Structure 1
Amino acid sequence: MTGPEHYLESERLLKSAADNFLRHGNAGSALAAAQVHATLALAAATAMGAVVEDDLAGFTVEERDAWYAVAGTRPGTRPAAEETAS
């Protein structure tokens, strides 16, 4: 499982934990699994270095693009809501 895949799995498990809590009052196991995946995603991102502009900093192009996809943005860009508020 790649770093971005761990990140996405963590988000999925957090949603599952919220659903389980609302339905059954228990979210422990899903929260624990989400934390593990979030930690593995952070470890993968940290180990690979930080991407700045077009410098790959240890990433392959595919890995860099996968992180951009899960982050929902690229360096040097701002969401439209922030641009209109400025």
Structure 2
Amino acid sequence: MTGPDHYRLAEVLLAKANRTEADDAPTVLAAAQVHATLALAAATALPVGGSGSAPRGAWAIAVHGLGEAGGSRG
């Protein structure tokens, strides 16, 4: 799983936690936190510069929704 994949999954889990029964919400939130932390670690490990690199492009897609069906997220 890539850093952007962890980022996207953290967002999905966070949204799910908002719709989850109160008993399950802490477990879903904990999973979201784990994936957010892994995404942060992956982003921190990106090489300096290279704004047009493939890894940075993958982050732009994950964070901004660029290139996804239905346009960008706002």
Shared topology, TM-score over 0.5?
yes
Under a length normalisation based on structure 1, what TM-score does the superposition of the two structures give? 0.65
Q: Supply the RMSD in Å over aligned alpha carbons.
A: 2.3
Which structure's CA Rg is the greater one? 1
Identity of aligned residues (%): 48
Match of 2:37 in 1: 39
Shift of 1:36: 0.3
One of 22, 27, 38 as aligned partner of 1:25: 22
Unpaired runs of 5+ residues, structure 2, are 66-74
User: Which structure's residues are more often helix, by fraction?
Assistant: 1
User: Tell me, what secondary structure is at the counterpart of 1:65?
Assistant: helix
Moved over 3 A (4+): none
Greater relative contact order (Cα < 8 A, sep 6+): 2
Shift of 1:25: 1.7
Number of residue equivalences:
65
Q: CA separation in 2, counterparts of 1:63 and 1:44?
A: 10
Under a length normalisation based on structure 2, what TM-score does the superposition of the two structures give? 0.75
Unpaired runs of 5+ residues, structure 1, are 74-86
